[in-house]
């Protein structure tokens, strides 16, 4: 979708479109928007890496078997070990590719559809790029998702608030994002109950 095809959304409309009827998180996490058009090969690479990272984190965090893979051994210990190796591979790939410095922690709202975040610079509606965020507190490898600015409000000192719609993403990455958001939400609810 080009910038000309995108409707102009107010911040309230963007919030409703991205977070209206879906599980949404409000967190402080290292994150930023990296503007720049992505070619198909880069989008596919980000989707594969993002899906592998999120599925690996799911297995490590939950120890749950991968039900979609009938050839996968059912032993949770082996699954966690394999997931840790997957994540380690991603980590080393990230270092080798020098994917960038660690971003500053920012307050953000996000869901499997998109994110609302403060970033340096001003971006027009339709600006394409990638949303980069730490997917885990203990793992420095970032999650990167193709994203497009759907609303923007300039602020002080060169900082803007932008609303980013994720995509295009594969159905499997969209599913992995939804599951990741649910796991974080479930963990937050469990921590609140423990207090």
Between 87 and 45, the more confident residue is 45
| pLDDT tens sequence across 56-95 | 888 777 654 445 555 555 677 777 777 777 777 666 656 6
Contact partners, residue 143, CB within 8 Å, separation at least 6: 50, 53, 54, 132, 133, 134, 135
Q: Which whole-number Å values give the CA distances from 158 to 7, 109, 131, 153, in the listed order?
A: 25, 20, 19, 11
Three-state DSSP class for 143?
strand
Assess contact for 18 and 116: CB atoms under 8 A.
Answer: yes
pTM of the model: 0.77
DSSP 124: -
Q: In whole angstroms, what is the distance from residue 84 CA to residue 191 CA?
A: 24
| Average pLDDT value for the chain | 82
Q: Which of 43-47, 162-166, 183-187 has the highest mean pLDDT?
A: 162-166
Q: Which residues pair with 106 in a beta bridge?
A: 29
Q: Where are the domains of the chain?
A: 3-194
Q: Which residues pair with 146 in a beta bridge?
A: 130
DSSP-derived pairing of the beta strands 114-120 and 159-166: antiparallel
């Amino acid at each position: 979708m080009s910038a000309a095809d995108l409707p102009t959304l107010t911040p309230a409309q963007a919030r409703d479109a991205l977070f209206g009827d879906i599980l949404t998180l409000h967190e402080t996490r290292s994150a930023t928007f990296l503007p720049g058009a992505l070619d198909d090969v880069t989008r596919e690479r980000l989707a594969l890496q993002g899906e592998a990272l999120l599925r690996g984190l799911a297995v490590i965090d939950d120890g749950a078997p991968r039900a979609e893979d009938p050839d996968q051994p059912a032993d949770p210990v082996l699954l966690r070990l394999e997931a840790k190796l997957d994540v380690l591979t991603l980590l080393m790939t990230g270092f080798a590719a020098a994917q960038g410095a660690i971003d500053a922690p920012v307050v953000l709202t996000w869901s499997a559809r998109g994110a609302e975040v403060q970033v340096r610079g001003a971006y027009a509606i339709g600006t394409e790029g990638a949303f980069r965020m730490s997917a885990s507190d203990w793992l420095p490898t970032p999650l990167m998702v193709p994203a497009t600015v759907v609303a923007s409000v300039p602020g002080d000192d060169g900082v803007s608030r932008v609303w980013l719609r994720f995509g295009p993403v594969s159905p499997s990455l969209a599913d992995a994002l939804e599951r990741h958001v649910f796991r974080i939400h479930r963990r937050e609810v469990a921590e609140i109950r423990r207090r």
